[in-house]
Chains A and B, each alone.
Chain A
């Protein structure tokens, strides 16, 4: 125990095929691990069928919200700038949708682009990675499964990984 937190342990298993990785994940989930405890590392994307290691994403929703926010901001800003100077127009409208529509569109899309990038940084965990959590080295062409477990789960997790066909199971440095 450290600072009132329960000690965390990490197991690393090298797997040769996607099928072996799927089997290992299923074994571990059956023995009580949830998807947040499991991380798959590879040098290229590995696609698992739905239900194996789902990572729910709200990226699309955030992109729409980001685009809408930028859209509202630019409409407000253009409206403000066009009314900021007390121009005498003889009652004619000064704010024109048609001629400012392109600007609204572009800034809306800029909002979508910037939100996509920010959300990518957030969902990938790149911005909020805990440096104390060990990252396994992955050999080219192999899949590495990292399991986050408590001390009493270590043996069980190791057996599950071996049963699923892991080439090598080892314990990574602990963190608190």
Chain B
């Protein structure tokens, strides 16, 4: 287990992976301050909406779901980056996953927290959110469990609980190591480590729990995005009432989640100098997965549109035409370009495949997937079955501010997390290192 060179290598690994936790650079403070300023602006916009009422948002009859629901679906999709990908890689014993999983799992937790906020923002009267919870009240009313909105509450609560535990469990050994030398407020690590000693009973229980959690969380993750898809598919609205919506959404979620993960890894690699740990191999493997998901996404998109076109049902065709050659055509073709053409060229041609191209493709996919969510929600709501009820939607400054702020929130939470906990699992990386030797 421990030759002199192995111990030196271990020391190097620990020093490299724990280095980002010590000290705060000026650059870090500036970036965090800018992000916090954007977040505060978003909170101000939300506060303004709470004070003035939901009318300050651009949502009007018939488009009652605007940017807020687009963001909700987008962030829930991004949350599939971590837990789902990490769970699949854990269950298949893919060894290369070890430096990647924690970065991915953290994305899940933060994206879910952000995504879960949007239904509350969309409520308008956010202080009444607790009406969704089943509690005995004076009017003897219970929530309607048959409503897809209740499904969302249940699905997201379960997924968030599971994802937090899935992130926390493999963190415990690393937190215990950090706690050993901790002083001041960092003594909190000792509390969080639950008294972990590194005994074989603890390791066995951890490994069993992670295996079981991986299986469970996989099933939950698939169900969560299916439920989000059913929010739409249960309505008999043009281009929503589709049986393939659930798998289509799950594929899109994994696709955008992977893109989010690659982007996060590139930034971590560069800013935390983790080039030795997040190697081109990791990017190459994730790029192949991204390419696969791009093709799957194209297949579903094509199937969805082909069926509608061939059916030629007038109400459906209104939405179809608006998307493909009408007022939403620019967004539609940009979506196809960045979700399919860019990844296909940059990642499909082996000579072009690199960390830079994977990052470019990922940024494109993130934009494309946000547009996809927009194109699913807005055209259908703008053109309901009753022609006289058609309307237009343009987001207000409040919605735009809150949207931008959520991206800043994600970045800020990630930055803070990476300062408090090792973003690459130290013990898993060491084990992987020893296995490779």
Task: Spell out A's residues near B (CB within 8 Å).
Answer: 16-18, 39-46, 53, 55, 57, 59-60, 63, 77-78, 81-82, 84-85, 96, 99-100, 102-103, 105-107, 109-110, 112-114, 116-117, 119-121, 123-126, 129, 135, 138, 140-143
Return the CB mask of B125-147 against A: 1 if under 8 Å, else 0.
00000000010000011110110
Instruction: Let me know if B204 and A123 touch, CB within 8 A.
Output: yes
Task: Answer whether residue B6 sits at the interface, using C-beta atoms and an 8 A cutoff.
Answer: yes
Bound CA–CA A129/B194 (angstroms): 10
Within the complex, what minimum Cβ distance (angstroms) separates B161 from chain A?
6
Instruction: Let me know if B434 and A113 touch, CB within 8 A.
Output: no
Within the complex, what minimum Cβ distance (angstroms) separates A43 from chain B?
6
Complex partner residue of A103 from B150, B169, B173, CB under 8 angstroms: B150
Within the complex, what minimum Cβ distance (angstroms) separates B135 from chain A?
11
Bound CA–CA A42/B204 (angstroms): 12
Task: Answer whether residue B196 sits at the interface, using C-beta atoms and an 8 A cutoff.
Answer: yes
Complex partner residue of A120 from B11, B148, B169, CB under 8 angstroms: B169
Nearest 10 interchain pairs by C-beta: A141-B2, A81-B142, A124-B205, A99-B146, A120-B209, A40-B200, A106-B154, A123-B205, A45-B203, A102-B151
Bound CA–CA A110/B217 (angstroms): 10
Task: Answer whether residue B25 sits at the interface, using C-beta atoms and an 8 A cutoff.
Answer: no
Bound CA–CA A102/B177 (angstroms): 41
- Of B14, B151, B197, B203, which is in contact with the most chain A CB atoms at under 10 Å from its CB? B197
Complex contacts, B173 vs chain A, CB 8 Å = 43-44
Instruction: Let me know if A123 and B208 touch, CB within 8 A.
Output: yes
- Of A78, A100, A107, A110, which is in contact with the most chain B CB atoms at under 10 Å from its CB? A110
Task: Answer whether residue B295 sits at the interface, using C-beta atoms and an 8 A cutoff.
Answer: no
- Of A44, A60, A100, which is in contact with the most chain B CB atoms at under 10 Å from its CB? A44
Instruction: Let me know if A117 and B150 touch, CB within 8 A.
Output: no
Within the complex, what minimum Cβ distance (angstroms) separates A39 from chain B?
5
Complex contacts, B10 vs chain A, CB 8 Å = 140-141
Complex contacts, B331 vs chain A, CB 8 Å = none
Complex contacts, B223 vs chain A, CB 8 Å = 102, 105-106, 109
Within the complex, what minimum Cβ distance (angstroms) separates A140 from chain B?
5
Complex contacts, B200 vs chain A, CB 8 Å = 39-42, 46, 53, 55
Complex partner residue of A106 from B151, B202, B217, CB under 8 angstroms: B151
Instruction: Let me know if A141 and B212 touch, CB within 8 A.
Output: no
Instruction: Let me know if A109 and B219 touch, CB within 8 A.
Output: yes
Instruction: Let me know if A41 and B151 touch, CB within 8 A.
Output: no
Bound CA–CA A114/B158 (angstroms): 10
Instruction: Tell me the chain B residues, 218-238 only, with Cβ under 8 Å from chain A.
Output: 219-220, 223, 227, 230
Complex contacts, B194 vs chain A, CB 8 Å = 121, 126
Complex contacts, B162 vs chain A, CB 8 Å = 109-110, 113
Complex contacts, A119 vs chain B, CB 8 Å = 205, 209
Instruction: Let me know if B203 and A39 touch, CB within 8 A.
Output: no
Bound CA–CA A142/B145 (angstroms): 54
Complex partner residue of A107 from B142, B158, B203, CB under 8 angstroms: B158
Instruction: Let me know if A18 and B206 touch, CB within 8 A.
Output: no
Residue on A nearest B216 in the bound complex, by CB: A112
Instruction: Let me know if A41 and B204 touch, CB within 8 A.
Output: no
Task: Answer whether residue B1 sits at the interface, using C-beta atoms and an 8 A cutoff.
Answer: yes
Complex partner residue of A110 from B161, B202, B207, CB under 8 angstroms: B161
Within the complex, what minimum Cβ distance (angstroms) separates A9 from chain B?
18
Instruction: Let me know if A142 and B205 touch, CB within 8 A.
Output: no
Complex partner residue of B158 from A17, A59, A106, A120, CB under 8 angstroms: A106
Instruction: Let me know if A109 and B220 touch, CB within 8 A.
Output: yes
Instruction: Let me know if A116 and B1 touch, CB within 8 A.
Output: no
Instruction: Let me know if A77 and B217 touch, CB within 8 A.
Output: no
Complex contacts, B205 vs chain A, CB 8 Å = 57, 59, 119-120, 123-125
Within the complex, what minimum Cβ distance (angstroms) separates B427 from chain A?
5
Instruction: Let me know if A43 and B158 touch, CB within 8 A.
Output: no
Task: Answer whether residue B157 sits at the interface, using C-beta atoms and an 8 A cutoff.
Answer: yes
Within the complex, what minimum Cβ distance (angstroms) separates A6 from chain B?
23
Complex contacts, A55 vs chain B, CB 8 Å = 200-201, 204
Within the complex, what minimum Cβ distance (angstroms) separates B22 from chain A?
18
